[in-house]
Structure 1
Amino acid sequence: MTSVDRWQLPDGIEEVLPAQAATVEQLRRRLLDMFRSWGYELVIPPLVEFTDSLLSGLGQDLDLLTFKLTDQLSGRSMGVRADITPQVARIDAHSLAPEGVSRLCYAGSTLHTRPKSLMASRSPIQLGAELYGDDSLAADVEVIRLMLATLDAAELDAAYTLDLGHVGVYEAVLATADLDEAQEAAIFDCLQRKSVPDLLLALDNVPEDIATLIIGLVDLHGDDEVLVAARELFADRVPQALIAVDALQDVATDIRRQCPDLSIYFDLAELRGYHYHTGIVFAAYVPGRGQALANGGRYNGVGEVFGRSRPATGFATDLKSLMGLLPATQERQGAISMPDSDDLELLAKVAQLRAEGEIVINNLSSEPDSRCDRALVHSDGEWLVQEI
């Protein structure tokens, strides 16, 4: 291995250097403090867990994203977390086991075996919030509002759009068709890609009236007119789908009361996380980025594998992605140089300055640190800060 190879990092794995690290940490603190003000309590799940619990209830996608290893103590399979959501669900269901509503939040590094999109990181710093124990649309609205407040608090240098969907629409349509697993998987894949030619092939043996309903899902995306079109399409054949459509309308109405200028986009064929989501799904997008900046949804019953089936809704975002949309960093804070001395008055002055938020750097050489624009100088019997 050459010296060049030794400093290279794996594709999709990046280090965060001082200026960026300071931004990420300030953002993390600001957002977690905001979550706390909404009543969300911080939890810190472990970096690795047994795969029996880590991969429970959230589908094959998470399994494929998870690095696995063998625990040398127990011989059992462990995974490095690719998503913190199932860990928080375990904490709610087993470690805390509250009777009523619980609100939990978290922030921590995750690791993916492969990037979720072409330019995505394989080592996101995931931050999110989960609300357990309430199955109402009001709980979904609260979490969506918290997600929007998170993006506002991050002070991003970009406008964003709220994308709303509901897996109940697809489930209701699918329930009218007698499909085997292979057909369902093929149709699901085509809808994810919104590929009508492939969808027509997948529906070759499906009755025409049912095929028309499934194909109709592809075009059900856009503004509020989408909900009008959905009611017309499903009114006679799939009335059960109208429950989900009405829920989307109610959620959008509630969100607009607080955010009247927010752009809302409906997508009734949005099946992200379909295998574990059970209701409303939502995401925030910014122009020019195909990957959601933040996303979430309702995932009732995920705690059942831990002994307590609980209603649940939540969202997550990647602090690295948020950092990439922040305005250009302002000039960094200056610092104060101090002589390398054990003078008690000097040390007291340094402690005072640091408590006030100043950066004070011990000068170990003839030249002060390059960040220093001021220096502590002893004059007239006291230590004073002077410009360099």
Structure 2
Amino acid sequence: MSAWVLPDHIADVLPSEARHIEELRRGLLDTARCYGYELVMPPLLEHLESLLTGTGEALGLQTFKLVDQLSGRSLGLRADTTPQVARIDAHLLNRKGVTRLCYCGPVVHTRPDRPHATREPLQFGAEIYGHAGLEADLEAALLALDCLRVANVQDASVDLADVRIVRSLLAGVAVDAPLLQSIHAALATKDAGELAFLARDFPVASREGLLALLQLYGDDGVLVEAEKALKRTTGVRDLLSNLKWLASRLEGVRVSFDLADLRGYAYYSGARFAIYAPGASDALVRGGRYDEVGAVFGRNRPAAGFSL
């Protein structure tokens, strides 16, 4: 093999593309700054437990791991910047009140997350800490949409969900981590047969509610149907009302709902959004609320944001 051949799904960036990427990076950061977000630059390399504790198996599988030749401790190359920004908010800044932070830098993945994708993507994101209200969720979605406009993305659409709906359906049900992961996978693929098998021993309300989620996707009529189908589950009505509030304030874009969508990393704790565009095979942006992301760093406070 020639010495100059790069690993699979790793590529050099040549002048014309590099110029375009840098212009885009500057545009995204300037947009975030207009919203009051401050730039942080976490390191690419960090102790493994800091990168991965509480983030779920998916992020662990995407993370390159190595041993520090100085300390002998396990290190990781970041596959997602959100946990690092939570650490900065908790330990380095430790401010009272609302903090807005943004970042833009490379992450490294052990495997490409979609066909023909690079394993060294540039990740941009923004996080708002210390605000528990829906206004923070809305701000994150509006900033994400403005960033896509800066990138000349046309006809974007927003898909909304809330992970607490599934949590409410499973409240009081004994579910270990492997079973929960299988349930999430069945919901994501809308596999009714597999989901029915996994939930066969659940209480009737939990089992029927989970199966109902598979059909609860589409326009705002989904929220009406969900209120009927999940009326026996405590707290769901308020969660649906919150989603309706968010959707009503996302003007100029098509809004849909998929109440079974749990894709993404495990640190999400509330309302979530994904933004799609014609011609893209997957979501361009994923974001939402992740109040528990800072708990491992000793500061569990409200947080919302997104990455693209």
Q: TM-score range by the shorter chain?
A: over 0.9
Cα offset for 1:182? 4.8
CA contact (8 A) 2:163 2:272 kept: yes
Matched letter for residue 128 of structure 2: L
Matched letter for residue 73 of structure 2: R
For residues 288-367 of structure 1, the aligned pairs below 5 Å read: 288-317=279-308
Q: Which residue of 1 aligns with 2:208?
A: 212
For residues 101 and 39 of structure 1, the distance between their equivalents in structure 2, rounded to whole angstroms, comes to 11
| Structure 2 alignment gaps of length 5 or more | none
Change (3 A) 1:179 1:85: closer
Change (3 A) 1:306 1:206: closer
The superposition leaves residues 92-128 of structure 1 with CA deviations (integer Å, 9 ceiling, x where unpaired) of: 0001100110000111011000112233321110011
Cα offset for 1:133? 0.6
For residues 12 and 163 of structure 2, the distance between their equivalents in structure 1, rounded to whole angstroms, comes to 37
Q: 1:22 aligns with which of 13, 19, 24?
A: 19
Could you say what secondary structure the match of 2:112 adopts?
Answer: coil
The superposition leaves residues 268-300 of structure 1 with CA deviations (integer Å, 9 ceiling, x where unpaired) of: 111124631111111111234332101111110
Matched letter for residue 253 of structure 1: S
Could you say what secondary structure the match of 1:6 adopts?
Answer: coil
For residues 203 and 34 of structure 2, the distance between their equivalents in structure 1, rounded to whole angstroms, comes to 53
Change (3 A) 1:166 1:144: same
1:127 aligns with 2:124: yes
1:108 aligns with 2:99: no
CA contact (8 A) 1:13 1:121 kept: yes
Larger-gyration structure (1/2):
1
Change (3 A) 1:79 1:229: same
For residues 276 and 309 of structure 1, the distance between their equivalents in structure 2, rounded to whole angstroms, comes to 12
For residues 313 and 122 of structure 1, the distance between their equivalents in structure 2, rounded to whole angstroms, comes to 26
Cα offset for 1:315? 0.6
| Structure 1 alignment gaps of length 5 or more | 318-388
1:137 aligns with 2:125: no
Cα offset for 1:207? 4.3
Change (3 A) 1:307 1:204: closer
Cα offset for 1:176? 5.6
CA contact (8 A) 1:176 1:210 kept: no
For residues 180 and 213 of structure 1, the distance between their equivalents in structure 2, rounded to whole angstroms, comes to 19
Q: Which residue of 1 aligns with 2:267?
A: 276
For residues 267 and 135 of structure 1, the distance between their equivalents in structure 2, rounded to whole angstroms, comes to 23
The superposition leaves residues 121-180 of structure 1 with CA deviations (integer Å, 9 ceiling, x where unpaired) of: 211100111000111100110111000010111112x42211111011111111164445
For residues 290 and 243 of structure 1, the distance between their equivalents in structure 2, rounded to whole angstroms, comes to 32
1:118 aligns with 2:109: no
Q: Which residue of 1 aligns with 2:145?
A: 148
What count of residue pairs does the alignment treat as equivalent? 308
Q: What percentage of residue pairs aligned between the two structures are identical?
A: 46
CA contact (8 A) 1:176 1:238 kept: no
1:242 aligns with 2:232: no
Change (3 A) 1:33 1:213: same
Change (3 A) 1:305 1:207: closer
C-alpha RMSD of the superposition: 1.6
Change (3 A) 1:25 1:183: closer
For residues 60 and 185 of structure 2, the distance between their equivalents in structure 1, rounded to whole angstroms, comes to 18
